[in-house]
Amino acid sequence: MEDRKHIDPLNVARRTIALEAGAIEGLVALLTDDFTRICDSILAAKGRLIVSGIGKSAVIAQKIVATLNSTGTPAVYLHAAEAIHGDLGMILQHDVVMIISKSGESPEIKVLAQLVKNFGNPVIGMVGNTDSYLAKQSDFVLNTTVSQEACPNNLAPTSSTTAQMVMGDALAVALMELRGFKSEDFAKFHPGGALGKKLYLRVADLYIHNEQPKVTADTSLKEVIVEISKKRLGATAVVNETGELLGVITDGDLRRMLEKNISLNEAKAQQIMTLNPKTIEADALAIDAMELMRKNNISQLLVVQHKQYLGIIHLHDLIKEGLI
């Protein structure tokens, strides 16, 4: 065994990353028209994309399936060994089958490829050896050949599995764009957690749980202070008789008023309010409200719909939902 004192882990890491980065870069030159035909075949299929592999390639197959399902392409994972021991029933008449293998010569892979061909399903071979049995049995080939594994013995699947995963991502992204898959569609498959909330949670879902502080232009200073204090949102809207927004009065406006020569006994809301306050539509995304608050260094926004004042969304609402 080599003396560990002479091994620099940092250099090993750099070498590994460089080798795998080179393997990924090399994939560009390996792309052929088969990639386009594969996309067309998957899009035209009435069934699903079945993705199979064995060993480390099976792990990559699972990741690719997860990415495809979350981006609009129905996909199912099938372990190659389990397939030839009873799970072939998962493959239906209109499915397309993609088999992943570095060598393309594993016994289970060879049996599976032949069986799928007998079924009449289109076969995509993602393979690191274009002269292999799998490549020759496939209707379409995704070439993921690498010149060297990052493993110092050139044995453990490292660069090769990275290349497989990147090729799978390339396929998933191409299918996304061909389907016109948008952020709204993405949200349907990711409803949980902060990611999902950023894509579907709207201002209307949050402000309705808050008080609706409001005064009119001729409301006295005392009543303004009571309204702000009572509703506990740090501000109140100023509206006209039809409910249209005229302005806003915040805690800061009250402090600035004390610096001006205004009679506290005679002061009215219209003398204190800030005109043209920052507003947001009720149907806007909550994440847009967060960006507007951040941009203007404020902690609340007035919610409006067709100039009508509806309420207030506060920074605390966004924090509570985990968006910040």
Cα distances (angstroms) measured from residue 186 to each of 40, 112, 198, 289, 322 = 21, 33, 11, 20, 19
CA 73, CA 226: separation in Å to the nearest integer?
56
Contacts of 4 (CB under 8 A, 6+ apart): none
Region for 193 from its dihedrals, namely left if φ exceeds 0, alpha if ψ lies in -120 to 50, beta otherwise: left
Q: Write the DSSP symbol of residue 8.
A: -
Q: Which residues are annotated as a binding site?
A: 79
**Dist CA 164 CA 213 (whole Å):** 57
Determine which helix (DSSP H) or strand (DSSP E) holds 247, and give its type and residue range. strand 245-250
CA 137 to chain centre: 36
Q: Kind and range of the H or E element at 248?
A: strand 245-250
Which residues fall in the annotated binding site for Zn(2+)?
79
Beta-carbon contacts of 58 under 8 Å, excluding residues fewer than 6 positions away, are: 52, 79, 80, 100
Q: Which residues pair with 308 in a beta bridge?
A: 244, 305
Distance CA 161, CA 107 (A): 19
Total residue length of the chain: 324
- If 0-12 CB within 10 Å is exposed, 13-18 middle and 19+ buried, where does residue 321 land? middle
C-alpha separations of 50 from 5, 76, 123, 168, 191 in Å: 47, 5, 10, 13, 25
